[in-house]
Copies of this chain bind each other. A is one copy, B any other.
Amino acid sequence: MSITLQDCRTRDAQDPLRALRDHFALPPGVIYLDGNSLGVAPKAAAARVADVVTREWGTDLIKSWNTASWFDLPQRLGNQLAPLIGAGKDEVVCTDSTSINLYKVLSAALNIAREDSPARKRIVSERSNFPTDLYIAEGLCKERGLELVLVEPEEIAASLTSDVAVLMLTHVNYRTGAMHDMAAITAAAHAQGILCVWDLAHSAGAVPVDLNGAGADFSIGCGYKYLNGGPGAPAFVWVHPRHANRPDLKFMQPLSGWWGHAAPFAFTPDYQPAPGITRYLCGTQPIISLSALQCGLDVFTAAQSLGGMAALRAKSLALTDLFIQLVEERCAGHGHGLGLATPREHAQRGSQVCLTRDEGAGVNGQGSGAYAIVQALIARGVIGDFRKGDGGTGRHKDILRFGFTPLYLGFEDVWNAVEHLRQVLESGEWQKAEFNQTHAVT
């Protein structure tokens, strides 16, 4: 039997996480399915940021390093975030950008791996990994005379050979929403003496993660997607204590700035790393943006009493299952050329659903029309995004990408989003010129 709008409303009424939506300043008239790109603002953020600007900065000025505990902020936020990713106390700091943090941990992984085995000269990653991760790895390989090997997901296991130093993967793929089995892959890599770096950009706050349980080596992730920390919010970095606490590797990570120093106010001319994860800090952090990130984390703290990440994961899967089912019931079978890029298996799915669109399904048989469909949806207030494929030359079709944040989305939202998609497709409004004018999208 087909799902009805009333079914969706009933599920919302029965949703134990429903109250979490009230923590967010959702813009009116919008169904926001882009929380995997930029999360929605928590209502608390405006007052928190105003307090930082007017009181902490404006009135207390330099004293706030102590009185407002600016100096501990990266560690405090790291400790608040730690339970979401299976990290322990004092194992995480929030700082810098995801790309910068990747440079730190990838450098550290190479330093450790190659100290033990100088013959290991490769970094392995996925060809469809998030590009900035590949750019950072490419730069490091060039600098150190190493080789970056890019493989397809099904080739990872065979690529774990004795000349590999580091396996660098993003846990949930940004294009498809496909999720790796972190524990299994980490174990397979370790069996070959390879260190693992995990990018949690599309995982932290979206799916349960257990870094310590998986025995991972290094991890980084993003503050402004599912963690709702604000545009360009500082990122995070986790290092397993077996690596972080190595005093023998003074420059384990090369961005050796004052905030990672053992005695930052001694002003000594030589660098001595702080113990533990603090050595992954570098320069002075953007306190206003960093403070806003706390408001995003506070919602997860509030969610603890409602079942935490396990409950959020259950709702996320229910939302993405519903979206897939409704699209197939209501939008497929009309020659619209839609397909599903995201795995149906729960264990392989993140918190997003990516629809593909066939080449030749665009206006006058040109392109896929996926970009125009996304633009037509945005004009109706349904915010998703578009990721370009390879134009039919390889394995990647154009993608319509929809992120589902269980903190603030409900089942009726899913119904309405699919209803808009159905209307956009059946009315043919996506074929209008205004929606087909491609320009830079983010």
Contact = CB atoms under 8 A, between A and B. Distances in A.
Interface of A: 25, 27, 30, 32, 34, 37-38, 40-41, 45-46, 49-50, 52-54, 56-62, 64-66, 70-71, 96-100, 103, 127-129, 131-132, 134-136, 138-140, 142-143, 150, 222, 224, 230-235, 250-251, 254-258, 261, 265-271, 282-290, 292, 383, 385, 387-388, 440-442
A97 B288 contact: no
Nearest to A132: B258
A140 B251 CA distance: 9
A99 B264 CA distance: 14
A38 B58 contact: no
A257 B97 contact: yes
A61 B49 contact: no
A34 to B, nearest CB: 5
A131 B268 contact: yes
Contacts of A103: 254-255
A250 B292 contact: no
A396 B312 CA distance: 58
B56 A231 contact: yes
B388 A232 contact: no
Nearest to A128: B269
A383 B61 contact: yes
A57 B228 CA distance: 10
A405 to B, nearest CB: 12
Contacts of A37: 62
Given A224-B284, A232-B286, A289-B288, A131 B267 contact: yes
A138 B250 CA distance: 10
A269 B134 contact: yes
B285 A288 contact: no
A62 B99 contact: no
Given A27-B58, A135-B256, A287-B289, 4 more contacts: A27-B61, A65-B442, A70-B232, A265-B440
B53 A98 contact: no
B96 A96 contact: yes
A34 B62 contact: yes
A110 to B, nearest CB: 11
Given A53-B46, A269-B150, A284 B98 contact: yes
14 contacts: A45-B57, A50-B50, A53-B230, A56-B231, A64-B231, A97-B257, A103-B254, A131-B258, A131-B268, A132-B261, A139-B251, A231-B287, A231-B288, A232-B290
A253 to B, nearest CB: 9
A408 B306 CA distance: 51
